[in-house]
Structures are given as structure tokens and as C-alpha cells.
């Protein structure tokens, strides 16, 4: 029972979805408090949602009545809205669209038919150059690594010799 009271109060006071004047908003809030207190409000039959729906429905019906009246008074207006005819002069537009489409398709597919040999040749050349560069880098890398190892061994021997001579001098 309590939940239904809160639901009913929320339904009558949720004025964020429809625009009410401040007087109607205060009235709706008062009615909601009366519902929560269990009192029957004098405006219990007042539903702002229903009023808004009825207002919009009346506007919709009036709009279409005015439109129908205008169409009766101006027969060309009604006829122009119902009928659409394509003249024979519009056929050139279809042909232009078709021709532009075919030209675009041909321009998009042409490189695939005329350039694959050239592109394949270029690709193979690039692959060959990359393979050669990797082999050279591996060879030079191994040579450099060997030289660095030799140098490290020489430095180590030099340090050992220095420590050996320093230790003899101290004794």
C-alpha cells in the first residue's frame, strides 16, 4: 500500500518531463503530499500528464484540420503533394550517374591491371636489398663482437698485470 502511494505521489509531481506553470507545479506538489498523508485532495482528478497529452492531441488534430481545409481551398496544393511525375528530360541524369559510376569503377580497378608487374618487381628488389643488408649487418656485427672481446681480454690482462705489480711493490 505504501509503495503505491509513493508511486502515485511521484507520478503526480514529476514535473520535469512536462512544463507546468509555477502555480500548477505547486498544486501538483500539494496534491502529492495529500496523497502521502492519506487525505483526499480537492484536485484528485487533476492529472497533469493527461492534460498535456490532451493538449498535444488537440494541437495535432487542429493542425491537420487546418491542413485539410487549406488543401480543399487550393486544389493544386493537394495535387502537387500527392503526385510526382518524372519527365522524359530527367533521363539524362540517369545516364550521367551511370557513366560517372563506370568511370569511377574503371579508375579504381585500372592500377590493379596495369601496374602489378612494376609493383611486384619493386617489391622483389626491396626484399633482396633487405636480405643483403641483414647479412652484411650479421657479418660486421660478428667481426665487431670479436674485436670487442679481444679488447676486453686485453684490458682484463692489463688490469691483472697492474694489480700483480702493485701487490709486489707493497710487499
What would the pLDDT profile of 34-51 be if each residue is shown by its tens digit?
Answer: 777 777 655 556 677 888
Which single residue is written with the C-alpha cell 505504501? 2
The answer to whether 28 and 48 are in contact (CB under 8 A) is yes
pLDDT of residue 129: 93
pTM of the model: 0.26
Would the pLDDT of 8 be above 70? no
End-to-end CA distance of the chain: 106
User: Sorting pLDDT into bands at 50, 70 and 90, what band is 63?
Assistant: very high
Would the pLDDT of 4 be above 70? no
Would the pLDDT of 23 be above 80? no
Distance in angstroms (rounded) separating the CA atoms of residues 32 and 48: 12
Distance in angstroms (rounded) separating the CA atoms of residues 103 and 108: 9
Per-chain mean pLDDT for the chain: 79
Residue ranges of the domains in the chain? 1-46, 47-84, 117-171
Would the pLDDT of 64 be above 70? yes
pLDDT of residue 40: 61
Would the pLDDT of 152 be above 60? yes
Amino acid at each position: 500500500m505504501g509503495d503505491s502511494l509513493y508511486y502515485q505521489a511521484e507520478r503526480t509531481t514529476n514535473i520535469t518531463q512536462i512544463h507546468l506553470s509555477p502555480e500548477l507545479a505547486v498544486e501538483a506538489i500539494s496534491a502529492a503530499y495529500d496523497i502521502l498523508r492519506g487525505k483526499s485532495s480537492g484536485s484528485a482528478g487533476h492529472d497533469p500528464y493527461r492534460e498535456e497529452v490532451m493538449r498535444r492531441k488537440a494541437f495535432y488534430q487542429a493542425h491537420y484540420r487546418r491542413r485539410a481545409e487549406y488543401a480543399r481551398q487550393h486544389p493544386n496544393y493537394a495535387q502537387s503533394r500527392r503526385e510526382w511525375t518524372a519527365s522524359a528530360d530527367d533521363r539524362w541524369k540517369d545516364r550521367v550517374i551511370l557513366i560517372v559510376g563506370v568511370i569511377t569503377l574503371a579508375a579504381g580497378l585500372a592500377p590493379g591491371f596495369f601496374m602489378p608487374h612494376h609493383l611486384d618487381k619493386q617489391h622483389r628488389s626491396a626484399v633482396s636489398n633487405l636480405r643483403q643488408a641483414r647479412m652484411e649487418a650479421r657479418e660486421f656485427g660478428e667481426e665487431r663482437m670479436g674485436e670487442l672481446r679481444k679488447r676486453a681480454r686485453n684490458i682484463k690482462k692489463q688490469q691483472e698485470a697492474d694489480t700483480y705489480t702493485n701487490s709486489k711493490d707493497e710487499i
